[in-house]
Amino acid sequence: MSHTAHHESRVVAVSVERMFDIVADVERYPEFVPLVYSAKVIGRQAKHYETEQVMALGLLRHRFRTRTELDRPNAITVTSTDRSFRRFEIRWSFAPTPEGFCHTEFSLECEVRSLLLKPLGEALMTQMAATMVNAFAARARKLEAAGR
């Protein structure tokens, strides 16, 4: 069994709504989130969507499905009942700062079920957790600079 936990908090110089939109746009993740090889929404409702994602580390690939709950513009929760995980949960929360920026909280809890997937799971989740907020902050800066 492999367990990864990570929590991070930072202020990103964009509005709460903008940061929410960047995090909610899962199909763009392969463009800027390390290790995300592909992400495709396979079902969408007003306040949630289902996604099939592929994580990659070198030649190793792992495909799994997630469910994303949207509480606009305050929070996003991503869970998976995929058999490869005993537990998978990512929580994002967004709050405005007095300057009009976004105080962003990120937490990840992941426990891989399979002993065969343990090395890949540990490597993927540890690296993903360590780079996730940086990737989204960089994406926000890039979009702001481009005026998008």
Question: What's the burial of 147, exposed, middle or buried (CB within 10 Å: 0-12/13-18/19+)?
Answer: exposed
Overall residue count recorded for the chain in this entry: 148
Q: Tell me which residue has tokens 């937490």.
A: 107
Percent of the chain with pLDDT over 90: 65
Q: How far is CA 147 from the centre of its chain?
A: 23
Q: Tell me which residue has tokens 């580390």.
A: 57
Domains annotated for the chain, with CATH where assigned, are 2-26+67-145 (3.30.530.20)
Q: Report the C-alpha gap between 24 and 40 in whole angstroms.
A: 12
Q: Report residue 141 as tokens.
A: 């800066």
| Sign (positive or negative) of CA dihedral 58, 62, 65, 67 | negative
Q: Which amino acid is at 59?
A: L
Provide the pLDDT for residue 147: 82
pLDDT in tens, 48-88: 999 999 988 788 888 999 999 999 999 999 999 898 888 99
Instruction: Give 4's pLDDT tier (boundaries 50, 70, 90).
Output: confident
Residues 6+ positions from 52 with CB-CB distance below 8 Å: 38, 39, 40, 42, 63, 64, 65
